[in-house]
Every structure is written in structure tokens, then in C-alpha cells.
A = this chain, B = another copy of it.
Amino acid sequence: MSGQGPEQRGELELVRRLRALLAQPSAGRGVSAGSPAVEFGDDMAALPTGDGGLLWTVDMLMDHVDFDSAVHDWAAIGRKAMAVNLSDCAAMAVVPVAALCAVSLSNQLTMQNAVDLVRGAHEYGLRFGCPIVGGDTNSWNAPTVVSISIAARILPDRPPVRRAGARPGDRIWLSGQVGGSLLGRHMTFEPRVELALQISRDLQPHAMIDVSDGVALDLGRLLEASSCGAVVEAVALDAAIHADALRLAQQDGRPAREHALQDGEDFELIVVLSPDVPPQACQRLGLLPLGQIVAELGLMLDDAGCRAPIPVRGWEHFR
């Protein structure tokens, strides 16, 4: 530790520093001219292929953080490890094709536990055409870690949907209700891969992101990437509060709106569309309105004309 007092911590700050480190000009050497344009820090990164058509991503899950092996069975844990990656594919509107799976197994696991973990991931991946094709197996005297990487194919006529394309005047939609996933949905959610492809084909979205760390935090990331702000409408937000958020609010006394804005692991999509897209086309796909993009930076809640800032707060590692 340096002698300069408490350092600034947090995953957001760490990612900012890593972006500065990794975005050096030399970092582009391995990327061919045919690679799709995706900024560092988006849900997936571009892979340099001859035809410029692949993205890839990785997500790491840890026992007692992202799952609890005392409660959840190993196949369900493997399923989640695959599903969070598939959700990244949904966020970019690309088609998952194959996965790698690396594990550090607690030495307390049985062989059957280990096989169940990989089977749960593999079988769920297969439902999306995304088998596990390789990986790395390790063990140690510490809690289990599982890390899955997915490669995904870009749709023939549609570029990947980035975080950075939102513009003032655009409308913000949600693919489903949010909040309270901790009551169980964080283990059983269905990544919105098919829906995302349909949105990409039919509605030409300007930007998308999946809700992994909470609507406020993830919408905040999209706004930062797009250099604009947003206003969430209170009436729309209230209609997007999941029943689990209401139940959780009753249990812990925190407002349900706070759960809807700050709870992570909903894995619904935040979809930013041109104002020209007819609302009926969105509603036909089950999208719920949330608010709109504005030029002024920051995230605001508009409650019957009265505006208050929404804290960009949610699940953040490394605090």
C-alpha cells in the first residue's frame, strides 16, 4: 500500500484504468482490418478473422459470490456460468457458436459434482447451438471458480449492437421486468439471445446492454459509452418492477424502485431505439418502455415533471 492515504477502489475505476492501459495504439496489432468495430469494455470483443465475423467474451463465476454450492446443485451452477455469457451475446445481438470452460474445482467436490458442473453448462449451451469444445481443469483448496468463454458469429447483414450508439431523443426499452433476482431468478434466467436477434433485424437498435449489475449501473455504462444522459420515467419504471422486487422490498424495507434500479443479475436487455420505431412494434416483442436518451449527462428520474438524479449504483466488484 502506498503512503498516500486510501486509494480509489472499485471495479468501475479498475476498468477505466485497464481501458487506458489496453487501448494503447500497439494493442491493435493483432486485429485485422476485417474485424468489426467494437470498443474496449463492451459486452464482447472482436476476434480477428479473415471474414471479420466473430466476437468473443468471458465471464468468471465464484462460489459464495455468484452462486452458493451449499444451496445450488452443480448442474444449475454450470447452467448459470453458460447463461451469463449467452446474455453477453444477446447484448451484442450475435449468434453464439462455441464455448471454452475453465474451472478451479474445490478439492471437496466429487468427480460427479465436477462432471455435473460441465454438463450443466454444456447442455444449456447446446440449446443455443453453443457446445463446450475445450477448456482447462484445475483443483485447489479454495472455493470453486468457473470461467466460460463464448465465441459468437455476427449476423450476415447486421453489425453487432454496441453500447456506444445511443443518441439524444432515442427511446429506452427493457426486455422484461427487473429487480429482486436474488430470490431465485439469478440462477434460472433465460438469456435473451433470440429476442436480441429479432430486435436487431426488425428494429435496428442504436445501442444495447444486458442488466448484469443493475439497471442504473448498466444503463450508466451505456450512457458513458454513448456520451449522453437519460431520463427514466417513474410511471414506466413502476410498470417494469418485477414481482420479486416487490417481495424483496417487503422483506428488507428498501423501496421497490431501488431494487428495480440497483439489483443485478436480471439479464434483461436495455434496448435503445430510434424514436421513429413505432411503439406497437416494440410492444409486439414484449418490450417495456423505460425512458429516453437526452444530451445532458447523468441519469435522472422524472416523477410527474419533478426530476431527481438516480445514483449510478449497483453490484460493483473490488470495493
**A interface, CB within 8 angstroms of B:** 1-2, 7-9, 11, 13-15, 17-18, 21-22, 26-32, 40-42, 44-51, 53-54, 56-60, 62, 64-65, 96-98, 100-105, 107, 109-112, 114-115, 118-119, 122, 126, 129-143, 145, 147, 149, 151, 153, 317-319
* Alpha-carbon gap, A7 to B112, bound state (A): 9
4 A-B pairs besides A21-B115, A60-B145 with CB distance below 8 A are: A2-B110, A41-B134, A57-B136, A138-B317
- State how many copies of this chain the complex holds: 2
Return A283 CB to nearest CB of chain B, in Å.
33
Q: Check B131–A29 contact: CB distance below 8 A.
A: yes
The DSSP consensus for interface residues of chain A is: mixed
| Set of chain B residues within 8 Å of A111, measured between Cβ atoms | 7-9, 13-14, 17, 318
- A134 to chain B: which residues have CB within 8 Å? 40-42, 44-45, 56-58
Q: Is A51's CB under 8 angstroms from B51's CB?
A: yes
Q: Determine whether the beta carbon of A118 is less than 8 Å from that of B21.
A: yes
Chain B residues within 8 Å of A30, by CB: 96-98, 129-131, 133
Contacts of A58 in B (CB 8 A): 100-102, 134-136, 147, 149
What are the 6 A-B residue pairs with the smallest beta carbon separation, nearest first? A45-B134, A50-B51, A139-B318, A27-B131, A30-B97, A60-B102
Q: Are A22 and B122 in contact (CB under 8 A)?
A: yes
Task: Evaluate contact between B50 and A53: CB separation under 8 angstroms.
Answer: yes
